[in-house]
Amino acid sequence: MNKEQGGIKAKLASYGITLAVAVGLLLAVLTISGYWKAEDPMDRARILCDGFSVPGALLVLVAGVLFVSGQGAFNGVLFGLKRGKEIFLPFLRSEYVPYREFVKRRAKKKVTGYGCLFFVGLLFLIVGILLTVRFSRLYP
């Protein structure tokens, strides 16, 4: 029972932190785009659409990259970078690890818990899409 409460608290904390980051990105986009100084309702609506779409798209894409990375899509690139470091920086020598062993070690270090990025990003992206549809109907 206590273990479940700790798991729920951890999930709520990760969703809360992700939501705070998304709101921070929203406020940054609104501030950079001049939402607070815009007087035309059309400009304010357009900036608001961008404000929700940008953090949503970024969070969904980051979650996608983490998912693909966890499936081993970047193993070859990372192995090549490690070997390149050994070739071009010989004074930083490390023990040679064959590719098969490198992949086995990477499989043990899978990144998990990025669902909060995807779902919060999806929520912001849906709001951004709904605002964009409303904007396109109000200002054709």
Q: What is the pLDDT of residue 55?
A: 96
Position 33 scores a pLDDT of: 93
- Tens-digit pLDDT string for the chain (140 aa): 455 666 889 899 999 999 999 999 999 999 999 999 989 889 999 999 999 999 999 999 999 999 998 888 899 999 999 888 888 888 877 788 889 998 998 888 888 888 999 999 999 999 999 999 998 888 77
Domain segments of the chain: what residues? Answer: 2-138
DSSP the chain: -HHHHHHHHHHHHHHHHHHHHHHHHHHHHHHHHTTTT--SHHHHHHHHHHHHHHHHHHHHHHHHHHHHHHTTTTHHHHHHHHHHHHHH-GGG------HHHHHHHHHHT-----HHHHHHHHHHHHHHHHHHHHHHHH--
Give me the amino acid identity at 24.
G
The phi and psi torsions of 128 (rounded to 5 degrees) equal: -60, -40
